[in-house]
Amino acid sequence: MEQGEQKVKKGFLDSPLQAAAFIFVSVGLLWVYCLPPGLAPYRDAGEMACDAYTMGIAHQPGYPLYILSAKLAALILPGNFAYKLNFFSALGGLAALLALYFPLAARFGILPSLAAVLLFSLNFTMQTISSVSEMYALNLFLVSVLLWIALSFEESWSRRRLWLGAYLLGLAMTNRMDIVLISPALLLGVWPGLKRSTFTAAAKIIFGGALFWLAGFSLYLYLLIRSGANPQFDWSHPADLYTFLGVITRRSYGSTLDLISKNYAVGELFWANIKYYGFHLARNFNAALVFAVVGLFSEFTRNRGRFYMFAALFIVSGPGFLFMANMPPNPHARAIVEPNYLLPDLAVVLWVAAGLAFTARRLDAPRWAVAAVAAVFVALAAWHNFPSSNRRELFAAEDWGEDVMKSAPQSASLVAKKDVQLFTIWYLQTARGLRPDLKAVAQGLSGAKWYQDSKRLWRPELKLSNLNTGGAQDWENFSSDNPGGVYATMDAEFPKTIPALPRGLIYGLYQNEKPLDMWRFYNFRWLGGGYNDFFAKDLGASYAQSIVARAAWLNNNGGLSVEEAGRLKLARIMDPDLPEAALYLGFYYSAVNDWVLAGKYFHRSAGVYERLLILAAEYYTLPSLKASLAKSGAYAWVNYGVALEKTGDPQGAEKAYKSALASNPDMADAHYNMAILYWTKDPRRVYEELQATLRINPNHQQAAYYLSRIKSK
């Protein structure tokens, strides 16, 4: 420890233990107050809850440490099962804060370290992972402990401490493999001591460390043993050595964070991800980033070894990880990447504490001045993050799942694809015992042999087909093999040739009945709730999608009613990024000859498509999706042009048709409508537009008819 880095004064919080108690009580009360009341709509939260409930095998690499520790915690903590796991994550996050605070306080003083840790406790991502049934909070606790051990080698060298760290590193890898990203930082922490040892002594230390690491890592054997018992959730069924090794090495993912990244060239999305990580830093550290820069300089000049250690932590787990992850910067992918921001954030926390301590020494600032400055950026973080971090009224996942179950008839086969949607259904059936008659099917897993084998064991009445990469025939076979009917949630993907009937929050496939209106039976707590995360908003959007699906069916089968038009207006509020809601409102008003309102909504629909295309470029969306958005936008522009014609605005109509052709040059109706627009004005232009129409769509009967009339004249 450097001379003068810590000034001990009498008064409030004048010892590290008092400050630690203050962190534990204040942050603990805040976090517990903000905990979701049940299953949180977050990534794999529902799956992890099911795995902990049944002691099953999670997706690769299995996460045995989290599954076992969460199961143990659930036996002790209060509340429903999901709340117990949320509480467990809060405790893990609190433990991480304390494990971070103590080594900082020993090096930079109580007040700077307290301020930095309190600021970190208000980090939106930190609060998120400390409130959901996922393994991230436990991972951050283990990272903080390992960094504490590595920092302890500044004071004294200890072979036993190194072996303890090696054991914990191996154990931590059974919780999350990406903890290896901190290995360079840990190595830099222990390297000076190893370098001073003789070759023989260093070899013995390394060999012993390898054995202790293996002892911790051996918890993965749980997967091999437990899978042999065929648990209800048995992802990949790692009951043999080859499959077991494939699971713990995430063989099917390769070196990627998520299979999404395989659609892009290596490093293609690096700078886009760096930009969003910069936004994350600005949001969560605000003015304290100035002190982080000062702290970085201070560490470089005063403690070069520690500077290199935390620089390695930041670079490898921050930019290095983002380069390897190579994820598109859309909201869904960013929500997947976001928990990993917390590893480089740990380095920023240390630099904030170092910067505050350095500034206070240089300016000889009184303690109250340091406290006042620290209070400003802590208050800024609280003001910015607390409203969106408060999830105590977040019922989104379980309400959505219950409403889906209300939509499904008895003994139905229910197909879901997205993780949160699928895992929520799993959780409601497994932990809460709801609708055991429903045969839930994971679309993305339906073609996997291990999943089919597991379903034969646990749901022998279910006959699976490949509904993921299979075609229409596979879906038809699945429907004929499973009495009770096949239904799909709004997120499922199935061939467009399959007849789909909207039934509340689901589609009935191959159904002949009229669409069932489930609207009055739904729970709408989410409309006023805290839908602040991507996954929660995605669940809310499915309600809007169900309204649009029903409107589309009614529009093609007799027309929309006033009541349906009102629901479409609500759908626009539920999901402003759903252009079809405004489009069908345009169809409704055009059907009642209110062309002014029809034009208003067609224009709004086209505007949403334009905005989505801009976002698609920013998010590096795949070309196929961009093309689909452009074609749909062109359709909205054409309808807007028709509405303008009806209201006596031919110039505006022409602009709308040109906008349609700019979005989709192969929009035959845009050329045809342009021909009608010029029918009495410019015969040559009419002729050219009709020819263009037929060149794109040779079967366009009206264009062929009018072109023949022109030719006959």
Which of 455, 493, 498 minimizes the C-alpha distance to 479? 498
Question: pLDDT confidence of 46, banded at 50, 70, 90?
Answer: very high
- 100-109, 164-173, 260-269, 317-326: segment of lowest average pLDDT: 260-269
Is 482:497 a contact under the CB 8 Å cutoff? no
pLDDT of residue 286: 95
pLDDT, tens digit, for every residue of 572-597? 988 999 999 999 999 999 999 999 99
324 vs 366: CA distance, rounded Å: 45
Residue 365 has a pLDDT of 83
DSSP 128: H
Q: pLDDT band at residue 5, thresholds of 50, 70 and 90?
A: very low
**Is the pLDDT assigned to residue 380 strictly greater than 90?**
yes
| Residue 123 φ then ψ, to 5° | -60, 125
| Rounded Cα gap, residues 549 and 297, in angstroms | 58
Give the closest residue to 341 by CA, choosing from 47, 123, 534. Answer: 123
Looking at residue 565, its amino acid is A
pLDDT for 290: 96
Q: From residue 153, give the alpha-carbon distance in Å to each of 18, 89, 103, 149, 408.
A: 25, 29, 11, 7, 60
pLDDT band at residue 16 under the 50/70/90 scheme: confident
How high is the pLDDT of residue 1? Answer: 44
Work out the pLDDT band at 310, boundaries 50, 70, 90. Answer: very high
Q: What pairing do the DSSP bridges indicate for beta strands 486-489 and 413-416? A: parallel
User: Could you tell me the sign of the dihedral formed by the alpha carbons of 238, 335, 69, 230, in that order?
Assistant: negative
Task: Identify the residue with better confidence: 513 or 542.
Answer: 542
Compute the average pLDDT of residues 102-110: 96
Pairing between β-strand 486-489 and β-strand 506-509 as defined by DSSP bridges: antiparallel
Between the alpha carbon of residue 612 and those of residues 79, 547, 609, 616, 660, the distances in Å are 42, 20, 5, 6, 15
| Phi/psi-derived region of residue 117, left when phi > 0, alpha when psi is between -120 and 50, beta in every other case | alpha
> CA-CA distances (angstroms) from residue 381 to 121, 275, 369, 513?
9, 20, 19, 54
- Dist. CA 408–CA 444, nearest whole Å: 20
Please indicate, yes or no, if residue 159 is contained in any of the structural domains: yes
Please tell me the least confidently modeled range out of 112-121, 145-154, 371-380: 371-380
With 0-12 / 13-18 / 19 or more C-beta atoms within 10 angstroms meaning exposed / middle / buried, residue 432 is: middle
**What average pLDDT does range 93-119 have in this prediction?**
97
358 domain residue, yes or no? yes
Q: Does residue 622 belong to any structural domain of this protein?
A: no
Q: Is the pLDDT of residue 530 over 70?
A: no
Number of domains within the chain: 1
The predicted structure's pLDDT at residue 254: 56
Q: Report the predicted TM-score, pTM, of the whole model to 2 decimal places.
A: 0.93
Q: Is residue 163 part of a domain?
A: yes
**DSSP annotation of 317:** I
Instruction: Name the pairing type of β-strands 413-416 and 500-503.
Output: unpaired
Order of strands, sheet of 506-509, starting from the edge strand that comes earlier in the sequence: 439-442, 413-416, 486-489, 506-509, 500-503
pLDDT confidence of residue 211: 98
Span 34-54, average pLDDT: 96
CA torsion 597→598→599→600, rounded to 10°? 50
Written in H, E and C, the secondary structure of 616-683 is HHHCCCCHHHHHHHHHHHHHHHHHHHHHHHHCCCHHHHHHHHHHHHHHCCCCHHHHHHHHHHCCCCCH
Which residues contact residue 434 at a Cβ distance below 8 angstroms, ignoring those fewer than 6 apart? 401, 402, 405, 428
- Dump pLDDT digits (tens) for 429-473: 999 999 999 999 999 999 999 999 999 999 999 999 999 998 999
Report the chain's mean pLDDT, rounded to a whole number.
Answer: 92
Q: How many other C-beta atoms lie within 10 A of the C-beta of residue 563? A: 10
- Are 64 and 135 a contacting pair, CB within 8 Å? no
Q: Which of 420, 402, 431, 429 is nearest to 524 (CA)?
A: 402
Q: How far apart are CA 646 and CA 643, in angstroms?
A: 5
173 vs 267: which has the higher pLDDT: 173
* Mean pLDDT value of segment 166-174: 98
Inside any domain, residue 31:
yes
Q: Helix or strand or coil: residue 502? A: strand
**DSSP per residue, 385-424:** HHHHH--TT--HHHHHHHHHHHHSPTT-EEEE-SHHHHHH
Report the alpha-carbon distance of residue 462 to residue 415 in Å, rounded. Answer: 12
Residue 427 and residue 46 in contact, taking contact as beta carbons nearer than 8 Å: yes
Using a 10 angstrom Cβ sphere, with 0-12 exposed, 13-18 middle and 19 or more buried, the burial of residue 623 is exposed
Long-range CB contacts (within 8 A, 24+) of 468-473: 468/443, 468/444, 470/446, 471/495, 472/497, 472/498
Q: What does the alpha-carbon distance between residue 674 and residue 655 come to, in Å, rounded to a whole number? A: 10
Q: Cα–Cα distance between 180 and 38 in angstroms, integer?
A: 32
**Is 584 part of any domain?**
no
Q: Is the pLDDT of residue 523 over 90?
A: no
Going by C-alpha positions, the residue among 325, 319, 320, 323 that lies closest to residue 259 is 325
In percent, how much of the chain has pLDDT > 90? 79
Peptide bond into 665 cis (omega under 30): no
User: Which has the minimum average pLDDT: 119-133, 277-291, 615-629?
Assistant: 615-629
Judge whether residue 4 has pLDDT over 50: no
pLDDT in tens, 472-514: 999 999 999 999 999 999 999 999 999 999 999 999 999 877 7
pLDDT digits (tens, 9 = 90+) for 592-645: 999 999 999 999 999 999 999 999 999 998 888 999 999 999 999 999 999 999
Closest by CA to 352, choosing from 189, 111, 15, is 111
Report the alpha-carbon distance of residue 605 to residue 581 in Å, rounded.
8
Distances 243 to 223, 253, 693 between C-alpha atoms, Å: 10, 14, 57
pLDDT for the residue numbered 6? 47
- Note whether residue 639 is domain-resident: no
CA dihedral 365, 370, 376, 377 (to 10 degrees): 110
pLDDT tier at 679, thresholds 50, 70, 90: confident
pLDDT band at residue 212 under the 50/70/90 scheme: very high
Single out the residue of 608, 666, 596 nearest to residue 633, CA to CA.
608
User: What is the structure's pLDDT at 257?
Assistant: 56
What's the average model confidence in pLDDT over 97-106? 97
* Token pair listed for 603: 């224009």
Residue 109 · residue 7 · CB < 8 Å: yes
Domain that holds residue 197: 16-389
Q: Which residues lie below 8 Å from residue 698, measured CB to CB, with a gap of 6+?
A: none
The enclosing H or E element of 687 equals helix 683-696
In a domain, 104, yes or no: yes
Q: Can you tell me the distance from the alpha carbon of 168 to that of 146, in angstroms, rounded to the nearest whole number? A: 7
Q: How many CB atoms lie within 10 A of CB 290?
A: 14
9 band by pLDDT with thresholds 50, 70 and 90: very low
pLDDT tens by residue, 312-353: 999 999 999 999 989 899 999 999 999 999 999 999 999 999
